[in-house]
């Protein structure tokens, strides 16, 4: 595989930006929006609240002049956990919200306790009834200092979106630092919010009376970019990804280099080339700027073919190794011990029918299939379509022998 691929806007930013648009009465326009099914679900969530949503080519126009509902029902939340991102904006704008309690998912139980306790500190009262989170703020929201137990991406985002309309100053300590947080803060800033420190562990928000709509371009998807870089690393490359800020990918690039790849970066492009063998590199997932959990499965596919052994440690989610059993069916030598995976590189993988357990693992199985001998049939690819736009077409354009078949 060789050539160039342009990545889409970041799924995990676009979804939150759509929720944030609810904060500002009027028409906000979000561009560089990926054409994926999770975005369609978020558009449904936002429309269900009464906002008028128009989908344009890679853009969402959200008119939040009037909100007619404060509820994100189970039907949508069970389809997509990220629907919980409307909790903060709804309670800030309307003083109440009802959001179905997200259940467990394929990668762990994924609690929302930090979202709840953080918002409680801002004056939100909670009740839990009939599987719903009932949030009310009868006296409005007020600023507070909230120290997160763990730098949760979703909790940081919900707090940020609530704090922008709270009275006084909110300080979020131990905040998540992901580039998608900085992107959300940039959009909120364009709406008129006063935020300092987004992208650092301490975010300070000075509440304002109201926000006004704005336009914003979604940051490039560092996980999509990383996935194509691993595809290049597995097959040799050179593969160049464009449309992503290479500064957002430092740890992934360090690990690709340790794995024997040559990396060249420009501000908005990264090229990977591998001429020698794949070398083993230990990996541990951590909140940003650590190695992203969303790249763990793709790296496991790479390490499965390394010349030697390594340990991959998953620190962010409790159950994100389900992928390993599938790639073992392709001939990989992987042993799971709690949250460590011991990966002994093998000389080759052999194509097999496999099932996608979740989005990133699904992408990783496709990559493993590209490197394997013979045909690999990857089933349940709707998981992949949640987060990757035209994944098969983009891989085929790089020279991969891949096609979609109806299941």
Residue 257's CB is within 10 A of a number of other CB atoms, namely: 14
By beta-carbon proximity to ligand EPZ, the closer residue of 219 and 306 is: 219
DSSP output for 308-373: SEEEEE--S-SS--HHHHHHHTTT-EEEEETTEEEEE--S--B--EEE--SHHHHHHHHHHHHHSB
DSSP output for 70-130: -EE-HHHHHH-GGGGGGHHHHHHHHSEEEEEPP--BTTB----HHHHHHHHHTT-EEEEET
CB of 124 to ligand EPZ, least distance (A): 14
Query: Is residue 317 part of the contact set for ligand EPZ (CB under 6 A)?
Result: yes
* Closest by CA position to 368, among listed 309, 325, 314, 313: 325
Query: Is residue 394 part of the contact set for ligand EPZ (CB under 6 A)?
Result: no
Query: Is residue 89 part of the contact set for ligand EPZ (CB under 6 A)?
Result: no
Question: Which residues are known catalytic residues?
Answer: 105
Taking CB under 6 A as the binding criterion, the range among 148-156, 201-209, 235-243, 323-331 that sits at the site for ligand EPZ is: 148-156
Single out the residue of 86, 114, 121, 122 in contact with ligand EPZ (rule: CB under 6 A). 114
CB of 383 to ligand EPZ, least distance (A): 9
Query: Is residue 108 part of the contact set for ligand EPZ (CB under 6 A)?
Result: yes
Query: Is residue 361 part of the contact set for ligand EPZ (CB under 6 A)?
Result: no
By beta-carbon proximity to ligand EPZ, the closer residue of 235 and 285 is: 285
Cα torsion 300, 304, 306, 308 to 10°: value is: 100
Query: Is residue 60 part of the contact set for ligand EPZ (CB under 6 A)?
Result: no
Query: Is residue 298 part of the contact set for ligand EPZ (CB under 6 A)?
Result: no
The residue whose two tokens read 């054409």 is 35
CB of 342 to ligand EPZ, least distance (A): 22
By beta-carbon proximity to ligand EPZ, the closer residue of 306 and 327 is: 327
Single out the residue of 154, 179, 226, 369 in contact with ligand EPZ (rule: CB under 6 A). 154
* Closest by CA position to 133, among listed 87, 200, 64, 198: 87
What character string, x for contact with ligand EPZ (CB under 6 A) and - otherwise, covers 368-387?
-------------------x
The residue whose two tokens read 């906002």 is 51
On whether the CB atoms of residues 84 and 68 are closer than 8 A, the answer is no
Query: Is residue 155 part of the contact set for ligand EPZ (CB under 6 A)?
Result: yes
CB of 292 to ligand EPZ, least distance (A): 6
By beta-carbon proximity to ligand EPZ, the closer residue of 111 and 348 is: 111
On whether the CB atoms of residues 139 and 123 are closer than 8 A, the answer is yes
How far apart CA 395 and CA 326 sit, in angstroms, is 21
Binding residues for ligand EPZ (CB under 6 A) = 11-12, 15, 82, 108, 110-115, 150, 152-155, 176, 293-294, 316-317, 359-360, 387
């Amino acid at each position: 595989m060789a050539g160039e691929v342009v990545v889409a806007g970041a799924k995990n930013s676009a979804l939150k930006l759509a929720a944030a648009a609810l904060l500002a009465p009027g028409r906000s326009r979000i561009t560089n929006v990926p054409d994926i099914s999770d975005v369609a679900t978020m558009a449904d969530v936002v429309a269900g609240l009464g906002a008028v949503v128009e989908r344009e080519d890679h853009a969402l126009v959200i008119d939040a002049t009037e909100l007619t509902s404060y509820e994100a029902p189970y039907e949508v939340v069970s389809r997509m956990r990220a629907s919980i991102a409307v909790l903060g904006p709804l309670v800030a704008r309307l003083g109440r919200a009802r959001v179905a309690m997200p259940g467990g998912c394929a990668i762990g139980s994924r609690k929302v306790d930090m979202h709840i306790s953080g918002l409680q500190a801002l004056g939100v009262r909670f009740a839990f009834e009939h599987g719903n989170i009932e949030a009310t703020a009868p006296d409005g929201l007020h600023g507070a200092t909230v120290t997160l137990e763990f730098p949760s991406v979703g909790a940081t985002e919900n707090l940020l979106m609530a704090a922008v309309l709270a009275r006084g100053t909110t300080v979020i300590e131990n905040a998540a630092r992901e580039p998608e947080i900085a992107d959300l803060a940039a959009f909120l800033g364009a709406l008129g919010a006063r935020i300092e420190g987004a992208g650092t562990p301490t975010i300070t928000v000075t509440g304002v009376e109201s926000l006004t709509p704005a336009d914003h371009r979604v940051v490039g998807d560092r996980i999509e970019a990383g996935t194509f870089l691993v595809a290049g690393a597995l097959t040799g490359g050179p593969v160049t990804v464009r449309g992503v800020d290479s500064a957002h990918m430092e740890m992934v690039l360090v690990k690709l280099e340790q794995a024997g790849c040559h990396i060249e970066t420009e501000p908005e492009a990264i090229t990977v080339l591998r001429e020698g063998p794949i070398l083993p590199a230990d990996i541990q997932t951590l909140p940003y700027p650590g190695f992203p959990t969303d790249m763990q499965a793709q790296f496991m596919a790479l390490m499965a073919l390394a010349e030697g052994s390594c340990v991959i440690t998953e620190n962010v989610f409790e159950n994100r190794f389900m992928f390993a059993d599938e790639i073992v069916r392709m001939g990989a030598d992987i042993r799971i011990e709690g949250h460590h995976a011991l990966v002994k590189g093998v000389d080759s993988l052999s194509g097999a029918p496999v099932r996608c357990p979740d989005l990133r693992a699904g992408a990783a199985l496709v990559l493993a299939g590209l490197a394997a001998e013979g045909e690999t049939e990857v089933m349940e690819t709707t998981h992949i379509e949640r987060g990757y736009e035209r994944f098969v077409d983009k891989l085929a354009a790089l020279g991969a022998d891949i096609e979609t078949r109806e299941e």
